[in-house]
């Protein structure tokens, strides 16, 4: 049975080969036409009939996704039995309109200026009052273990360490300073989770070299997470700017089963500790296609200052291949563009309409959309925040990592509660 999805009219869309005929689609997948029709009947693929005709067409992006999931498999049974990593979760749902934390719109939470603490309570499925009273979430109050870890961290941190390199070093130091390993099923795991988020925030002050004395630590004992992040990044932000940072934290807290969340769950499923699970996620997050992507936007934009016109700059970076690593990330999840990016970009323009760096970023995004059909991503939004608030290089990745730690902990705890070890299988395709 074919999909009842409303078909586009025959015209430029089909002529530009965004769709393939049945014969072309079968050849693309390397299967017989009968297998192609079976994919449609089982909901693995949808087809459209322009103007209500009998000829069916198949969207190339859908075909690519199916082919990638097949991983060299050819039979119908193999496709049915294996469709890539898929894990049941009650944490985050992604829809074309945005993502939802346990049924609550993350976009609305951000637009309503809901504090990041509320989002953490939602993700961890606990009462906010309980989180505040038991774990002092409203204040950046550090444990003795965190203070000891920060002292050790300051002595071994390289001067040229990047944001994510520094955080990957700090997390195991913090675990080493704990009196005992923190199990994900321990009664005080959430208290340790809060402490981990705040300690990582304080570690940023060392990474960004904004802590030259005990001043930051004293201030940190009486401020919120958004304020702590602002100070760690070398800024004493105003109310509107702190609200912007909080919005970014809310939007970045989780995004379903991405690569880093899967790594956290994979580690947790083996019985790894809280810190080890977060470290596994952080290591995955540090890849240039994940948490490091906002820094790539920052670096490209900064080259604009070397040119006397935006046109010359865009021509040069296009010719040099600098844009080759910018992909259509998330286009399958958000066909009309990432709503997280839109919110962060709008806020940036509102706060810093005269920023030259921000203007260069917007010109780059317009070029990518017009010439490469690439919509703005969350990474672009985080780069915009960095320029609008005049934060140091790498600030976008820093805010992203701190926020996402809350999501990683949520995934690690949920996986531990499932009590099942994740053991993916490989389909051998060698000779």
**Cβ neighbours of residue 40 under 8 Å, at least 6 residues apart?**
1, 2, 3, 46, 47
pLDDT at 73: 37
pLDDT at 390: 95
> What are the φ/ψ torsions at residue 264 (nearest 5 degrees)?
-60, -45
Residue 36 or residue 154, greater confidence: 154
Fold of 94-431: Citrate Synthase; domain 1 (1.10.580)
The answer on pLDDT for 85 being more than 80 is: no
What distance, in Å, lies between the first and last C-alpha atoms of the chain? 37
CA 340 to chain CA centroid, nearest Å: 10
Question: Which of 75-84, 187-196, 229-238, 275-284 has the weakest average pLDDT?
Answer: 75-84
Q: What single-letter DSSP state applies at residue 7? A: P
Q: Where are the domains of the chain?
A: 12-81, 94-431
Q: Under CATH, which number does the domain 12-81 receive?
A: 1.10.1660.10
Exposed/middle/buried for 213, CB within 10 Å: 0-12, 13-18, 19+?
A: exposed
The answer on pLDDT for 4 being more than 50 is: no
Cβ density class 244-259: b for 16+ within 10 Å, e for less: bbbbbbbbbbbbbbbe
Measure the CA–CA gap between 214 and 228, rounded to whole angstroms.
14
Measure the CA–CA gap between 142 and 147, rounded to whole angstroms.
7
The answer on pLDDT for 335 being more than 60 is: yes
Give the pair of three-digit tokens for residue 169: 């070093």
Judged by phi (left if over 0) then psi (alpha if -120 to 50, else beta), residue 382 lies in alpha
- Nearest of 6, 85, 2, 86 to residue 39 by alpha carbon: 2
pLDDT in tens, 149-165: 999 999 999 999 999 99
Question: Are 266 and 422 spatial neighbours (Cβ–Cβ below 8 Å)?
Answer: yes
Give the pair of three-digit tokens for residue 396: 């976008």
Residue 372 or residue 275, greater confidence: 275
pLDDT in tens, 64-84: 877 766 543 344 344 333 335
Question: Are 334 and 378 spatial neighbours (Cβ–Cβ below 8 Å)?
Answer: no
Cα separations in angstroms, 155 against 151, 216, 268:
7, 17, 30
pLDDT bracket for residue 324 (50, 70, 90): low
């Amino acid at each position: 049975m074919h999909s009842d999805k409303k078909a586009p009219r025959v015209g430029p869309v089909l002529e530009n080969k965004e769709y393939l005929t049945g014969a072309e689609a079968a050849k693309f997948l390397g299967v017989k036409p009968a297998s192609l029709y079976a994919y449609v009947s089982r909901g693995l693929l949808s087809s459209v009939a322009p103007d209500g005709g009998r000829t069916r067409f198949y969207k190339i992006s859908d075909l690519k996704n199916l082919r990638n999931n097949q991983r060299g498999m050819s039979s119908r049974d193999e496709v049915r039995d294996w469709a890539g990593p898929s894990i049941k979760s009650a944490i985050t749902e992604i829809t074309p309109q945005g993502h939802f934390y346990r049924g609550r719109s993350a976009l609305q939470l951000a637009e309503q200026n809901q504090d990041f603490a509320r989002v953490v309570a939602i993700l961890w499925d606990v009462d906010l009052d309980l989180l505040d009273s038991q774990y002092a979430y409203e204040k950046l109050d550090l444990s003795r273990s965190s203070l000891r870890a920060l002292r050790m961290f300051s002595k071994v941190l390289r001067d040229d360490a990047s944001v994510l390199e520094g955080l990957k070093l700090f997390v195991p130091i913090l675990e080493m300073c704990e009196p005992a390993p923190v199990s994900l099923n321990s009664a005080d795991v959430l208290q340790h989770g809060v402490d981990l988020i705040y300690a990582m925030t304080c570690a940023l002050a060392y990474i960004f070299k904004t802590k030259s004395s005990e001043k930051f630590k004293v201030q940190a004992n009486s401020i919120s997470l958004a304020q702590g992040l602002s100070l760690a990044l070398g800024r004493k932000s105003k109310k509107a700017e702190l609200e912007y940072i909080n919005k970014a934290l809310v939007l970045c807290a989780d995004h379903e089963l991405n690569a880093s969340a899967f790594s956290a769950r994979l580690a947790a499923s083996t019985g790894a500790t809280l810190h080890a699970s977060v470290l596994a996620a952080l290591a995955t997050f540090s890849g240039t296609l994940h948490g490091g992507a906002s820094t790539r936007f920052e670096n490209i934009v900064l080259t604009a200052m070397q040119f006397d016109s935006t046109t010359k700059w865009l021509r040069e970076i296009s010719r040099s291949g600098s844009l080759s690593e910018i992909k259509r990330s998330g286009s399958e999840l958000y066909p009309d563009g990432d709503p997280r990016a839109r919110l962060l970009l709008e806020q940036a323009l509102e706060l810093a309409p005269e920023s030259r760096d921000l203007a260069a970023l917007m010109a780059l995004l317009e070029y990518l959309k017009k010439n490469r059909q690439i919509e703005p991503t969350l990474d672009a939004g985080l780069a915009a925040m960095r320029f609008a608030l005049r934060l140091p290089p790498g600030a976008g990745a820093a805010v992203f990592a701190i926020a996402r730690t809350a999501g990683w902990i949520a995934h690690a705890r949920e996986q531990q509660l499932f009590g099942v070890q994740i053991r993916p299988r490989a389909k051998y395709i060698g000779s």
